[in-house]
Structure 1
Amino acid sequence: MPDITTLPRYPPAADGQQSEEAIPSHPLGVKPSGNALLATWSLRDAIGSFRLLPDELILLLLEHLDGSSLLGIGRTCKALYAFTRAEELWKALFVESPVENFTWRGTWRSTYLNLPASKAPVIDCSHLYSDVLYRPFNCAHITLDPYVTKIPARNQIPRLPDLSPEEFHAEWADRPFVLTEPVKAWPVYKNWSVGTLLSRYGQEKFRAEAVDWPLRTYGDYMADNSDESPLYLFDRAFVPKMGLAVGPPDSTPDAAYWPPACFAEDLFSVLGNDRPDHQWLIIGPERSGSKFHKDPNATSAWNAVLRGPKYWIMFPSGDKRPPPPGVYVSDDQSEVTSPLSIAEWLLNFHAEARRTPGCMEGICGEGEILHVPSGWWHLVVNLEPSTAITQNFIPRAHLGAALDFLSNKADQVSGFRRNVENPYENFVNGMREAYPELLAEALEELQKKSEGKKRKWEDIVHGKTEEAESATGGFSFGFGDDSDVEVP
């Protein structure tokens, strides 16, 4: 059993207290709705019939306008000017009609209009009171310190120097942890920086959510944006784009990186070139990240930080476990609903989450790698501009979960190329050829699980066992008014 090292902390304020940096004034002077209670008048009074509509509906209507129409309606009065300055409106227009060659101008509006920042008009809208307009600005400027410091001891993600494959499979496959040493041997950790990446790959296009931008353009965006949810570069094809060799250094000449030994076993590899997407380059500015989700196809994952620390908050899942606070999931777990941004979730749900049983938190720093077990909910946010590599894999401990997912949630399976028609059958065939014993054990486990659920269902439908009936006077139940009966 390796020694567990001390958890490092994201630096607190100089006086040892959590820093509370003041939120700057909104660039147009817009204020939260509560300020209207003491105001004698509001710019909203001048928008005619629109004043009868809630702010959310006004923005929804503006989403249907093109750029010239937004400019036109923004010239009618100060209040509508402020509404038409909402960045999400211009971001949607830009993404819908991408431009091949453009210059990032600091905001989506200025970039769409090709307007230098110095020429963007600033109009005093200080008598407009709107949470809908103020909230994104507020969320984009909150300090992260209070949410990532003073992590309770019970929540701290364990930190280990390294793990052997035997230790991982025996004790750690179901637990998050951070390894502090393996990544430090990677050439990409030693050689990659923002400067080197831009010099080598600046003109290469990478995927950043809904856009494909040259890396140099994305670098300009990273350095100058005020988005509530900054655009996150998450590219699945970076290995061939960058001409990288990936694999064990003793068998892969000029290897750029390789999975630590404890993560080397990846049963999805039996699919060869037909395996789903599994490795990504991740780059993003401070405050960028991923909202709560589970990794695809019931896979586990590792996430290696090359530059810039990341904060993680994680929760296990299960039939009887609710999703994290503030996260709502459909019955089949195919759809996940949560607050609009990471910052909004932190403001409203972080304190409750920290008190929730099963919560685990930690910071993965430069040269460290974090393990995400199959099925765990996780949210991650960059505390500084960050570069990372992540990879999904299936260890033997979670083979059953992957088989179950591929078989019973075919509509949620993702990452396979279109010509792969039956991922479950292909995976079973590959496992039968390469690891027949592991496959047999996993299928037997799934069969027992299925039979257990069937018996439980029959007990609920047909009533209690004879012993239970005797103890309760022979009472049995159907569905009727038994609203507290747990149905699997």
Structure 2
Amino acid sequence: MPDITTLGRHLRDEDGLDDTDTADVIPGHPLGVKPSGNALFAARNLRNAIGTIGLLPDELVLILLEFFDCSDLLRLGRTCKAFYAFTRAEDLWKTLFIRSPPASFTWRGTWRATYLNLAPSRVASVDCSSLFSDALHRPFYCAHISLEPYASNIPAGNQIVRLSDLSPEEFQEKWSNTPFILTQPVKDWPAYHQWSVETLLPKHGETPFRAEAVDWHLRTYVDYMKNNSDESPLYLFDKAFVPKMGLKVGPIDQEPGTAYWPPSCFGEDFFSVLGNDRPDRQWLIIGPERSGSTFHKDPNATSAWNAVIRGSKYWIMFPSSSKLPPPPGVYVSDDQSEVTSPLSIAEWLLGFHAEARRTQGCIEGICREGEILHVPSGWWHLVVNLEPAIAITQNFIPRAHLTAALDFLSNKADQISGFRKDVVNPYEQFVAKMQESHPELLKSALDELSKKTEGKKRKWDDIVRGNASTDANAEPDAGGFSFGFGGDDSDVDIP
């Protein structure tokens, strides 16, 4: 029986597609591993050689191997072809690398080859084509799927609005709760005209940047960008890039030699009252195709903007509302502090994208080079690079979301992030600074928060006491329990 790669090629041939279409066909697994369904008609299965361990599901075998060190994995891999394939799983070697990174290394295309310092000529080529495992094949498949089908043919009703620019007044009056893309402001930035991977390397190639769980020199990360097959590529996401790169930030008429500045419509940011005590707010983002962020909301109930300097990014977003569930495939804990979803962006696209596109509230779009996207406070969003990309993102609190930020800082202290450890009580400090700088706005926001809190308390009392009945003759304290969904669209209970 043909594996999924060969079957895809046959189907394309039968449909009469030309050779240009086969460019998106998934290549064969480097060890020849095939999806588990192919075992149904196979005359031989290498998995039979692993003895009683074969009673365990492949996923559990891989979990057990996470407890092995380097020498254990190498010894086990020499026992049979099946174990060789299992011990070649990239996530095992990525974990080993992150746990005990070599003092110095050269990126060699895979985590295993890099950890073992193996040149390509020294990597064994073992034929494991009679091994059938979804756990081993699926990550490779996800690492090679084309993103184009998911980012194209966006339904008209789902399209993110595109605008040239907005004034602060227009943003405040109409757009603070709506995602949109601005096409003009970034094109005025010196960074837009000057930055690329090639231009950054000569000056910052030896500068260390944070890429998820590792701190690598930019030159090393660029080597990784250009040569990896990770299902979820490392995403360079550095909050200290401004001092590291010696950048100036601010309007060019106020700060000569500046690299970039927030568009005027995003200029109002009430976290600025905290000065140096404010939480992390700005990041440099660099990543290869397929890198990105799975579904999340921005921290501390902030809004954000994300400006693409090179490349392009696909965004899919959902509003947060008490009337709407999380996006398909996303699960939130009862206290809403934990969010889980499929492990990789590609896995979510494969399993949930079609359903998501039909889900109420879904909007999506491509933010291209020289464009900037607005993420309102509380919106779920997934973003993935359609090509190697450089971007800058910044979080802020606009006037429209001051109440939400106050509520988050006050009632979700265990979920607050980005503050230095010596900032003991962010809520009290923020309120104190707002009282000094914007007392009227603070009073209005606190009054609004008090009304929302009281309204929710009344609804809960009505539900528990059975007072939600519309029967005019019903006893007000008749007892019993009734359940209903509140009509309030506010999201003060969701992080």
TM-score (norm 2): 0.92
The one-letter code sitting in structure 1 at the alignment partner of 2:292 is G
Specify the SS of the correspondent of 2:285: strand
Runs of 4+ in 1 over 3 A off after TM superposition: 17-20, 472-477, 484-488
**One of 337, 340, 345 as aligned partner of 1:337:** 340
Structure 2 counterpart of 1:349:
352
1:48-127 equivalence runs, <5 A: 48-127=51-130
1:319-368 CA distance string (max 9 Å, x none): 22100000001122211100010000000000000000100000000000
- The Cα of 1:457 is off from its aligned counterpart by 1.3
Specify the SS of the correspondent of 1:47: helix
The one-letter code sitting in structure 1 at the alignment partner of 2:275 is G
The one-letter code sitting in structure 2 at the alignment partner of 1:365 is R
**One of 413, 416, 435 as aligned partner of 1:413:** 416
CA contact (8 A) 1:249 1:255 kept: yes
Tell me the percent identity.
71
**One of 235, 239, 243 as aligned partner of 1:236:** 239
- The Cα of 1:464 is off from its aligned counterpart by 2.1
Classify 1:465/1:228 alpha carbon distance in 2 versus 1 (closer, same or farther; 3 Å).
closer
**One of 32, 35, 46 as aligned partner of 1:32:** 35
- The Cα of 1:468 is off from its aligned counterpart by 2.2
Classify 1:205/1:467 alpha carbon distance in 2 versus 1 (closer, same or farther; 3 Å).
closer
CA contact (8 A) 1:403 1:424 kept: yes
Structure 2 counterpart of 1:478:
480
CA contact (8 A) 1:19 1:146 kept: no
Task: Tell me if 1:446 matches 2:442.
Answer: no
The one-letter code sitting in structure 2 at the alignment partner of 1:266 is D
1:188-207 equivalence runs, <5 A: 188-207=191-210
CA contact (8 A) 1:18 1:149 kept: no
**One of 179, 183, 202 as aligned partner of 1:180:** 183
**Number of aligned residue pairs:** 470
Structure 2 counterpart of 1:169:
172
The one-letter code sitting in structure 1 at the alignment partner of 2:288 is P
Classify 1:466/1:180 alpha carbon distance in 2 versus 1 (closer, same or farther; 3 Å).
closer
Specify the SS of the correspondent of 1:41: coil
The one-letter code sitting in structure 1 at the alignment partner of 2:150 is Y
Structure 1 counterpart of 2:223:
220
**One of 373, 377, 380 as aligned partner of 1:370:** 373
Classify 1:332/1:19 alpha carbon distance in 2 versus 1 (closer, same or farther; 3 Å).
farther
CA contact (8 A) 1:19 1:145 kept: no
For residues 197 and 234 of structure 2, the distance between their equivalents in structure 1, rounded to whole angstroms, comes to: 17
Task: Tell me if 1:245 matches 2:248.
Answer: yes
1:429-471 CA distance string (max 9 Å, x none): 111111111111100000100110111111112222685252x
- The Cα of 1:253 is off from its aligned counterpart by 2.1
- The Cα of 1:476 is off from its aligned counterpart by 4.3
CA contact (8 A) 2:466 2:476 kept: no
CA contact (8 A) 1:460 1:478 kept: no
1:187-336 equivalence runs, <5 A: 187-336=190-339
The one-letter code sitting in structure 1 at the alignment partner of 2:91 is E
For residues 343 and 21 of structure 2, the distance between their equivalents in structure 1, rounded to whole angstroms, comes to: 25
Classify 1:450/1:475 alpha carbon distance in 2 versus 1 (closer, same or farther; 3 Å).
closer
In structure 1, list runs of 5 or more residues that go unmatched: 1-13
For residues 19 and 39 of structure 1, the distance between their equivalents in structure 2, rounded to whole angstroms, comes to: 26
For residues 329 and 472 of structure 2, the distance between their equivalents in structure 1, rounded to whole angstroms, comes to: 41
Specify the SS of the correspondent of 1:255: coil
For residues 93 and 126 of structure 1, the distance between their equivalents in structure 2, rounded to whole angstroms, comes to: 27
Specify the SS of the correspondent of 2:228: coil
Specify the SS of the correspondent of 1:312: strand
The one-letter code sitting in structure 2 at the alignment partner of 1:233 is L
CA contact (8 A) 2:293 2:383 kept: yes
Specify the SS of the correspondent of 1:257: coil
For residues 440 and 299 of structure 1, the distance between their equivalents in structure 2, rounded to whole angstroms, comes to: 19
TM-score (norm 1): 0.94
The one-letter code sitting in structure 1 at the alignment partner of 2:145 is I
CA contact (8 A) 1:299 1:394 kept: yes
Specify the SS of the correspondent of 2:365: strand
Classify 1:351/1:81 alpha carbon distance in 2 versus 1 (closer, same or farther; 3 Å).
same
- The Cα of 1:31 is off from its aligned counterpart by 0.4
CA contact (8 A) 1:105 1:117 kept: yes
| Aligned-residue RMSD, C-alpha | 1.7
The one-letter code sitting in structure 2 at the alignment partner of 1:391 is Q
For residues 19 and 73 of structure 1, the distance between their equivalents in structure 2, rounded to whole angstroms, comes to: 37
Structure 1 counterpart of 2:397:
394
For residues 270 and 261 of structure 1, the distance between their equivalents in structure 2, rounded to whole angstroms, comes to: 18
Task: Tell me if 1:129 matches 2:116.
Answer: no
For residues 206 and 474 of structure 1, the distance between their equivalents in structure 2, rounded to whole angstroms, comes to: 62
For residues 197 and 104 of structure 2, the distance between their equivalents in structure 1, rounded to whole angstroms, comes to: 22
For residues 466 and 217 of structure 1, the distance between their equivalents in structure 2, rounded to whole angstroms, comes to: 65
Classify 1:112/1:463 alpha carbon distance in 2 versus 1 (closer, same or farther; 3 Å).
same
CA contact (8 A) 2:323 2:485 kept: no
In structure 2, list runs of 5 or more residues that go unmatched: 1-16, 487-492
Structure 1 counterpart of 2:158:
155
The one-letter code sitting in structure 1 at the alignment partner of 2:159 is Q
